[in-house]
Amino acid sequence: MKSALKEIAVGFNSLITGMRITLGQFFKRSVTLQYPHESLKMSERFRGHIELVKDPATGKAICYACKLCERACPSDCIIVEGAKLDGAKKRSVTTYQLDFTKCSLCGSCVEACRDGAIRFSHDYNLASLSKEEFVMDLFKRLETEREEEERREGKPASAVPVAVKPEAAQPAAGQTKVEVK
């Protein structure tokens, strides 16, 4: 009898403790982020899908289609084609197709690359209604980006001069993709 009463008392006390703890949390600030309205900044090393890196000197892709990444990829999601353009010393990339539906974001390609020609983008808002959108031609993407940049630079001074960082240019590229669809 005595132990039963004690058990009831201890049990009741434990319930009160639990309720006190949740009530304490009730008045605290919420810890979540309202995603479509706000979003997190990705960390420096965030592994998004890969993208080609521009050579700052020429504004073109560093990649010369050595196909090391293609071979390193465990999921066969990269197809690289290159050609030797007229008057150029080195080969240069003409197609860099990434099938993102197969990619597991392991980063083997980036590690395999000896010249730092590919890197991870910080783009994570990847949603689409069709599978085909995820087969991206990274080379074409880079070229469109470059053309856009040139067009912007060619414009009169009314346009706000922005130092276009590759990261900043990324969402713009994403938007054009949506518009195309």
Residue 45 interacting with other proteins (CB under 8 A):
yes
73, 118 Cβ separation under 8 angstroms: no
Question: Does position 116 bind other proteins by CB under 8 A?
Answer: no
Residue 8 is a binding residue for other proteins (CB under 8 A): yes
Q: Which residues contact 36 (CB under 8 A, 6 or more apart)?
A: none
15 scored as a contact of other proteins (CB under 8 A): yes
Q: Which of 3, 30, 130, 158 binds other proteins (CB under 8 A)?
A: 30
Please, which residue, 119 or 177, has the CB nearer to other proteins? Answer: 119
Q: Is 3 in the site for other proteins (CB under 8 A)?
A: no
Evaluate whether 112 touches 100 at the Cβ level (below 8 Å). no
The H-assigned helical ranges of the chain are 2-26, 68-72, 108-112, 138-154, 166-180
Q: What is the rounded distance in angstroms from the CA atom of residue 70 to the CA atom of residue 108?
A: 10
Q: Which residues bind other proteins (CB under 8 A)?
A: 8, 10-12, 14-15, 17-19, 21-23, 25-32, 34, 43-47, 72-74, 104-108, 111, 120
